């Protein structure tokens, strides 16, 4: 039996791991790995293979904001239709439904603060179910999806050979 959980952990850690390497690490044949991966994709368990880019280190204009969004749920549909009306905007990178004071948290990516402010003011806040927003701009990314973005100042010397 293929250890699917371990397969997912391996590619969660490194999505670029090749089929050959995955087969070797899981003690499976390559065909099995390919079939399992495509099944996981079909089942929407795997939804993409992304990179973790620290845009701050590039010369690109890039601003990120976390926006708490308060909404009134709709009879029959609850939050899902409202959520769809928000996440369909390409500016929305990530969106979660939360417990607690606000209903949604929306992660927005834009080129400038003005661009994000414009989106919140003229798009997000105008959706009828939205009753309030609170925008927090990201100043610095320390750790994203398990990867530490800080410069690695690790001068710790691991011994090359030990008993």
Partner 1 sequence: MIDFTKYLNETVKAIPPSGIRRFFDLASEMDDVISLGVGEPDFKTPWHIREAGIRSLEDGKTAYTANQGLLSLRKEICLYHKRRFQIQYDPQKEVLVTVGGSEAIDIAMRSLINEGDEVILMSPGYVAYEPSVRLAKGVPVIIELKRENEFKLTPEALEEAITDKTKLMLINFPSNPTGGVMSMKDYRKIVPIIQKHQILVISDEIYAELTYDQPFASPANFPEIKDQCIIINGFSKAFAMTGWRLGYILAHPTLIAAMNKIHQYAIMSAPTVSQYAAIEALRHGEKDVEIMRESYLARRNFIVNGFNQLGLDTFMPQGAFYVFPCIRSTGLTSEQFCEKLLAQEKVACVPGNAFGQAGEGFIRVSYAYSIEHIKEALLRIQAFLHTC
Which residues of this protein are in contact with partner 1, per CB under 8 A?
6, 9-10, 14, 17, 21, 24-27, 158-163
Q: Which is nearer to partner 1, 5 or 139 (CB)?
A: 5
Q: Which is nearer to partner 1, 145 or 162 (CB)?
A: 162
Least distance (Å) between residue 28 CB and partner 1: 9
Per DSSP, the three-state class of 80 is: helix
Q: Give the position of tokens 């590039």.
A: 58
Rounded to 5 degrees, what are φ and ψ at 78? Answer: 65, -125
Q: Write the DSSP symbol of residue 109.
A: E
Least distance (Å) between residue 31 CB and partner 1: 15
Least distance (Å) between residue 158 CB and partner 1: 7
CA distance 82 to 98: 14
**Token code pair at residue 51:** 């990179």
Q: Which is nearer to partner 1, 8 or 138 (CB)?
A: 8
Q: How many Cα neighbours within 13 Å face the side chain of 157? A: 4
Q: Classify residue 26 by burial, with Cβ atoms within 10 Å: 0-12, 13-18, 19+.
A: middle
Q: Give the position of tokens 């417990």.
A: 99
Least distance (Å) between residue 46 CB and partner 1: 18
Q: Which is nearer to partner 1, 6 or 97 (CB)?
A: 6
Q: Which is nearer to partner 1, 8 or 117 (CB)?
A: 8
Per DSSP, the three-state class of 71 is: strand
Least distance (Å) between residue 21 CB and partner 1: 7
**Token code pair at residue 67:** 């926006």
């Amino acid at each position: 039996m293929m250890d699917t959980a371990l397969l997912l952990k391996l590619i969660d850690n490194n999505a670029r791991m090749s089929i050959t390497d995955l087969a070797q690490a899981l003690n499976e044949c390559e065909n099995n790995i390919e079939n399992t991966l495509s099944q996981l994709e079909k089942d929407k368990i795997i939804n993409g293979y992304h990179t973790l880019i620290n845009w701050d280190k590039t010369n690109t204009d890039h601003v990120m904001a976390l926006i708490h969004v308060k909404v009134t749920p709709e009879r029959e549909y609850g939050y899902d239709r409202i959520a769809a009306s928000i996440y369909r905007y390409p500016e929305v990178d990530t969106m979660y439904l939360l417990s607690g004071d606000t209903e949604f948290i929306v992660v927005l990516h834009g080129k400038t603060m003005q661009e994000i402010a414009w989106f919140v003011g003229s798009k997000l806040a105008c959706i009828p179910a939205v009753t309030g927003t609170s925008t927090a701009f990201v100043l610095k990314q320390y750790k994203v999806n398990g990867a530490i973005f800080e410069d690695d100042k690790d001068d710790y010397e691991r011994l090359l050979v030990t008993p």
